Structure 1
Amino acid sequence: MMLLQTILAFAVVLGVLVIVHELGHYLVARWCGVKVLRFSVGMGKVIYSRRFGADQTEWAISILPLGGYVKMLDARDGDLDEVSPEDMKREFTRQSVWRRIAIVAAGPLANFLLAIFLFACLYSYGIPEPAPKLRAPAEKTIAYQAGLRGDEMVTAVNGEPIQVWNDLRWLIVQSVINKQPVTLDVEHATAGSSGKLLQTVTIPVDSISAEELEGDFLGKLGIDLARPPAILGQIVPDGPAMQAGLQQGDLIVSVNGMPIPDGLSLVELVRASPGKNLKIDLLRRGQPLSVNVTPEEATKDGQVFGRIKVEVPMAPDMVTAHNSPFAALVKATKKTWDTSVLTVKMVGKMIIGEVSWKNVTGPITIADYAGQTARIGWISYLSFIAFVSISLGVMNLLPIPVLDGGLLLYYSVEVLTGRPVSERFGAIAQRAGIGILMTLMLVAVFNDINRLIS
């Protein structure tokens, strides 16, 4: 069932992105007066088609599900002796270079517009996300050395106001890529006062490499989400917690003399102590109490850990950030631009060797993430589609022959020199482009398989 859901989620992502991309080419081609012969979802042999419109454009589904294309009336595709003089005026290569640039650029542009539309809808609707409230960092971490002590609410990163945890994470990612320190504006309640203390801290990110951005790089800096206090929830009957006398509502203060600031700390300590006696100091209805409990051993995926069979709340504070339609559109446009720039920088770092090619992902990983986000909920799924749409737009703009970016490079040379690139050079470059794309696809599939195995 899960596999079927993953396949369907991936099919929807792929279908939406291909259709939107090719619609960009199609609509601008029609706007520029170029005759469109076929609009295909998929590549290779056509397995289903219908003709519509005054031009009798063939709308087709082809056998290979990866990609799609728009076929226009083009003199490079063969003999056009039977084409009427009126239609010859609508042939692609007879259009001005600026019209050809517009038609080719419309595909990637459509992907960017789709991302902006999806982000704007999500920002207008309001996305429930963790609040940017910080957990107490360990003493030896960079965050602790910078002056953070926990329970601070981050209000801005590098001078840019934020509302949710993902905004904080995203801006720190950009700082790591740009190799710039992170400045956090934070506020926290002052003891014995209803006011809030404002503070600005600077955190160097030199210790984080671009390759670590897929992992817990925030944890390496000492930055983590604040969690609720260790107040026990439901107690499982006959478990170690019940046998020790623990009750629902108990506030755990310390374990073996070690302070427990939140529920996550308690869970981590218990999991690391299978079969060991733990002295727990707690408050029950405001009264101090001590009990001893021994976590039972449990095994999962070959890992042995301790558990006392009690519910411990660990969900962070959540906020729902609503934006007006205009503010949401502005925010969505900026998000799309920043993501595009970050993607280009990551590609550049791969080329010069600063980032591993292991970060290149292919259809297997995309399908896996599509299934995961679909299972989480429609908000995560739409966000995933927006990010993949941006990646598709950026990748199509790379100056590789056979991609839109390669064609745009040819037309840019034509603008500068006043004459088109020779057919011989174009044919050689196209073969080279196919070789590059095949190599990238092999690397991506290899990385996908390696991720599944590991």
Structure 2
Amino acid sequence: MSEIAGSIWWMIVALGVLVTFHEFGHYWVARRCGVGVLRFSVGFGKPIWSRRDRHGTEFAIAPIPLGGYVKMVDEREGEVPAERLGEAFNRKPVLQRIAVVAAGPIANLLLCVALLWAMFVIGKEDYAPVVGRVDGIAQQSGLRPGDRIVAVDGRAIATATEAVMGLTGAAMDRRDVQLRVEDASGNDISRRVYTSRLPAGFDEQDVTGALGLRWQFTVEPAEVRQVRPGSPAAGTLQVGDLITAIDGQAVDTADTLRPLLQKFGARGGEVMVEVEREGSRLALPLQPQRMTDPDTGAEFWALGIALGRGHAPAYDALQRYGPLAAIPVAVRQTGQLAADSLGMIRRMVTGHASLQNVSGPVTIAKVANASADRGLTWFLQFLALLSLSLAIVNLLPIPVLDGGHLLYYLIELVKGSPLSERAMAAGQFIGLAILAGLMGLALYNDILRPVI
């Protein structure tokens, strides 16, 4: 399946699952409150499939998979027969209306917990938060290769993904962060990372890179992956050779080899390349050659080889729990993710985080496809995050969203009477304008900015 087709397919699957649960929450509570439900639709547009149950509710699937809705008996939506007035949503007590509206986001919140529970029971594979290379701020903060991060600001960390989330929040808040690390010798040490020193406009999508921190799993070994025909290495080095030293200076990664080649190439003459090949250690003389980067035009010394694995390294961290033990872990993780999401919204509103973090359907589709490619547990985590985001966004006090309706009903509960139709109409207009702005920003971030 191509990347485009895969992105579209997995986005449809994701939104189909999440919208179905969201609308089922509204539907289930509405029925318990005696509200008549005319239609339960997944997707928008003319139904491509539908059926009616014995209660007269039409269940439908429509071709535009970007949402869904539950249509209830409501005098504000059209004329209601006298015999069904008792089922009208608008005639129900305000607390029942609040319960019906809140049920959708609550269903997504519960789904998030269920998906994370399934992920932990199956076993979530990830990478260990072990430092591979440091420079810049990370080095100034005392981090060293081999350090394993075990806590960020007191929050226990088991994976590199969790560590990145903690560091990103601190960086956006412009505050230093306290790390607890276990060094290569097993000593428990506290490190203070000076994230407040990051320059204005740093890449919020790559905080670890801006700090000068590279994880161990991202550090490429100095293993020969390709030998270019006609290059200095042709006929001498072989695919699979692990370069260990150049003229007696140790080489532990691909990054350490490149500057050594520039140094010895500029000196002139041959260099002695030490390699490990099929269990044997060899010393091979080679003459670095001056080459030109076809993209930038920059000249550099090289041997004519490509280094690295050529594939993603194997996962080295696993989060797995039994069915009962996974329940509190999933609940705790949902709480942490909710706090992080609300923190991101707060930062964007206050200007501490870039609005580039607002994503739309294109980004959702790409992430859906990428997570599906990485395996079931990664896709379950993606669904959980998206379900939680749907719950939080729907609870924002923006008219036309569930949160806007809840705001209306809470005002009604306080003042003892509904808002006027004029006030609600004005709120709907404002809500549509806000949503249009957010959708435009999301599409800009998705499509236009990468082109510019």
Fold-level similarity (TM above 0.5)? yes
Aligned length: 441
Pairing of 1:227-246 with structure 2 (within 5 A)? 227=217, 230=221, 232=223, 236=227, 240=231, 242-243=233-234, 245-246=236-237
Match of 1:332 in 2: 330
2:252 aligned with 1:261:
yes
The amino acid of 1:294's aligned partner reads P
Secondary structure of 2:362's counterpart equals helix
Asked if residue 114 in structure 1 is aligned to residue 111 in structure 2, the reply is: yes
Aligned to 2:43: 42
- Change in Cα spacing, 1:206 to 1:128, as seen in structure 2 (3 Å) is same
Query: 2:208 — aligned with what?
Result: 218
| In structure 1, C-alpha distance between the alignment counterparts of 2:283 and 2:354, rounded to whole Å | 53
1:436-447 correspondence to structure 2 within 5 Å: 436-447=434-445
More deviation, 374-383/283-292: 283-292
Partner residue in 2 for 1:31: 32
CA distance in 2, matches of 1:301, 1:378: 38
Equivalent positions of 1:27-426 (< 5 A) are 27-53=28-54, 55-80=55-80, 82-84=81-83, 87-138=84-135, 141-190=136-185, 196-208=186-198, 212=202, 214-227=204-217, 230=221, 232=223, 236=227, 240=231, 242-243=233-234, 245-246=236-237, 251-255=242-246, 259-266=250-257, 279=271, 281-282=273-274, 284=276, 289=283, 291-294=285-288, 308-309=304-305, 312-313=308-309, 315=313, 318-426=316-424
Equivalent-residue separation in structure 2 for 1:44 and 1:287 (angstroms): 68
For residues 326-379 of structure 1, give each alpha carbon's deviation from its aligned partner in whole angstroms, at most 9, with x where no partner exists: 342323223322222322332233333333333222112212222233333333
Partner amino acid, structure 2, of 1:17: L
Give the counterpart letter for 2:40 in structure 1: F
Instruction: Return the letter of the residue paired with 1:8.
Output: W
User: Cα distance, 1:201 vs. partner?
Assistant: 1.1
Task: In structure 2, list runs of 5 or more residues that go unmatched.
Answer: none
CA distance in structure 1 between the aligned counterparts of 2:303 and 2:86, rounded to whole angstroms: 76
Matched residues in 1 for 2:350 and 2:364: separation? 25
Structure 1 pair 290–184 and aligned structure 2 pair: CA distance change class (3 A) = farther
Match for residue 13 of structure 1? Answer: 14
Identity of aligned residues (%): 36
Kindly report the root-mean-square deviation, in angstroms, between the aligned alpha carbons of the 2 structures.
3.3
Deviation at residue 428 of structure 1 after TM alignment:
1.5
CA distance in 1, matches of 2:68, 2:147: 49
Distance across 2 between alignment mates of 1:209 and 1:83:
67
Where 2:213 maps in the other structure, the secondary structure is coil
Q: Tell me the TM-score normalized by structure 2.
A: 0.85
| Separation in 1, partners of 2:319, 2:290 | 42
Q: Provide Cα deviations, 1:386-431, integer angstroms capped at 9, x if missing partner.
A: 2222221111111110100100111111222222212221112112
Q: State the TM-score, normalized to the length of structure 1.
A: 0.85
Work out whether residues 152 and 179 of structure 2, in 8 Å CA contact, stay in contact via their aligned partners in 1.
yes
Rounded Cα–Cα distance in structure 1 between residues aligned with 2:228 and 2:434 = 61
Judged with a 3 Å threshold, the aligned counterparts in structure 2 of structure 1 residues 211 and 341 are, in CA distance, closer, same or farther, namely farther
Q: Per the alignment, do residues 102 and 445 of structure 1 end up closer, same or farther by CA in structure 2, a change over 3 Å counting?
A: same
C-alpha deviation, 1:382, in angstroms: 2.4
CA contact (8 A) 2:50 2:61 kept: yes
Q: Is the 8 A contact 2:121 2:321 kept in 1?
A: yes
SS at match of 1:131: coil
In 2, Cα distance between the equivalents of 1:271 and 1:16? 53
How far does residue 170 in structure 1 lie from its aligned partner after superposition? 2.0
Distance 1:237 1:367, change over 3 A: closer
**SS of match in other structure, 1:17:** helix
Distance 2:314 2:375 in 1: 18
Note if contact 1:18-1:41 (Cα within 8 Å) is conserved in structure 2. yes
Q: Which moved more, 1:302-311 or 1:368-377?
A: 302-311
Give the deviation of 1:49 after TM superposition. Answer: 2.4
